Amino acid sequence: MKTNFDRRSLLDILGVYLAGIVSFLASFFLGATIAQHLGVEEFGSYHTAIKISIFISNVLVLGQPLAIRVFLSKAVSDQCQEAALNIMQWTSKQLCRIGAMCAAIFLLRELVLSTDQLLDIGLLTFLRHPLSLVIVAIPFLVLINLLPPVLDVLHHFKLSRLTQSVLGHACYCFLLVAGSYVGIHWSVHEMILLYLLAQLVVIFLVMMFIWGKIRWIWQPGVVQIKENNEFRQTAFWGLVSNGSYQLVLNFSSMLMAIVITDGAELSHFSAIMTIVNFYFLLSEALRGYLSQRLLELSRIDRILSRKLLLDAMFYNAICTVVIYFAGSWSQQAILSFFGEHYLQDLALLRFALTINALLNIFQPFWSVFEYSRPQFNAYVCIMHLVLAIFMLSILVPVYGLWGAFVGDVLPEFLILMYLGIKTMREYGLFSRKVSEELAHCAIKD
């Protein structure tokens, strides 16, 4: 018999899974539209610029999302205004510093460009490259990265998953289509600036929604703001883990950009990565929800956190298998969205989707430690990064695109196996004693 806890867990997990699917569809159709608009070689440059901007913003966020999840969730649970105000003010200070640094770098770029007669041709080419515009978007992408943790703390898990990937892409698509409708042919530079404008719209809409939920934090009262070293310590481990993880996610793309000199081949890699990104969005959606709930439940009842983990593992495996076999019938049609010349990569796409689907089944193991054990999680992410760099550096120069996908997946699979063994030992998963405790918990509920 299903308990209320079971029903809530099922609805939450299916909800974030659905949000992950919608996120992929938004990302996919946007990527396919831009690929057809820009052409093969320009799409590779655009995709690289956006990936690097997202990577830099994820590093510069300096572990603040983890600090928000840990400390704001505790403050909201206890309705402690002082603790909530402390973490929010600390986060605001960090964000202002990042914005000031990016603004200074951008102004320096403009100043240097204004004296282009004195510049070396190579430096001038770099400063006018689309990648140099990335600095403009970074502060806003950092702010975007701070919104999902706040939404997760408020238990708006589905909206948290949709913030950037759906709302941002929908706004971006609207601007692109509206411009094309009136006859504008967007350049790569203009499309990057439009991407920034879309993020600004999302920030405004989400902050308007959040404000009503957290306005109580700023209610008048006698509140003394105190510096808390725990914020910095937790954020440091968050920075180490997130920085390592982002390097892992982007190292293959950066290595491919170095190794592959043919822009067309790089675009083929970008197209497949856009499709394979589906499983990444699914795993991120589930891990974001599950890590937050396990952190909160571990403070209340370890039995309930075990139960949620088992439910998540079961539902995740079922959904992954169903989605994989459903998608296997339409891989050629999906690839053709990018253009007929991409159909030659069908065998590589099938291989990449298969190994990533297998990897997705074991993703819940990472959620056990992601937020509740920040220091341990940071060490695991460093180990993941070392393995990924080692394998990709060996495989990519020899096997090219095939080596990139194997080198991406194999290190994470080894890490998940290690975390799975550790989880089974610490949580006693599948043991008779735990089964009896869960049955007793269900009877009480």
Residue range 211-231, pLDDT digits in tens: 877 777 766 654 455 556 777
Whole-angstrom distance, CA of residue 96 vs CA of residue 215: 21
pTM comes to 0.74
**Where does the pLDDT of residue 126 fall: very low under 50, low under 70, confident under 90, or very high at 90 and above?**
low
DSSP letter at 39?
Answer: -
Q: Domain for residue 219, yes or no?
A: no
In this prediction, residues 364-386 reach a mean pLDDT of: 89
Q: Domain for residue 286, yes or no?
A: yes
Domain that holds residue 273: 4-211+227-444
**Where does the pLDDT of residue 36 fall: very low under 50, low under 70, confident under 90, or very high at 90 and above?**
low
Whole-angstrom distance, CA of residue 287 vs CA of residue 296: 14
Whole-angstrom distance, CA of residue 411 vs CA of residue 401: 17
Q: Are 292 and 371 in contact (CB under 8 A)?
A: yes
Specify burial of residue 228 (Cβ count, 10 A radius: 0-12, 13-18, 19+).
middle
Residue whose C-alpha is closest to residue 155's, from 3, 9, 293: 293
Q: Domain for residue 217, yes or no?
A: no
Residue 176 has pLDDT above 90, yes or no: no
Q: Domain for residue 381, yes or no?
A: yes
**Where does the pLDDT of residue 1 fall: very low under 50, low under 70, confident under 90, or very high at 90 and above?**
very low
166 vs 442: which has the higher pLDDT: 166
Residue whose C-alpha is closest to residue 87's, from 78, 279, 444: 78
The predicted pLDDT at position 56 comes to 76
Q: Domain for residue 275, yes or no?
A: yes
**Residues ≥6 apart with Cβ < 8 Å to 114:** none
Whole-angstrom distance, CA of residue 378 vs CA of residue 373: 9
**Helix (H/G/I), strand (E/B), else coil: 105:** helix
Whole-angstrom distance, CA of residue 368 vs CA of residue 309: 8
Q: Domain for residue 144, yes or no?
A: yes
Q: Domain for residue 222, yes or no?
A: no
Residue 440 has pLDDT above 60, yes or no: no
Q: How many domains does the chain have?
A: 1
Q: Domain for residue 173, yes or no?
A: yes
Geometric angle at alpha carbon 350, from 348 and 353, rounded to 5°: 105
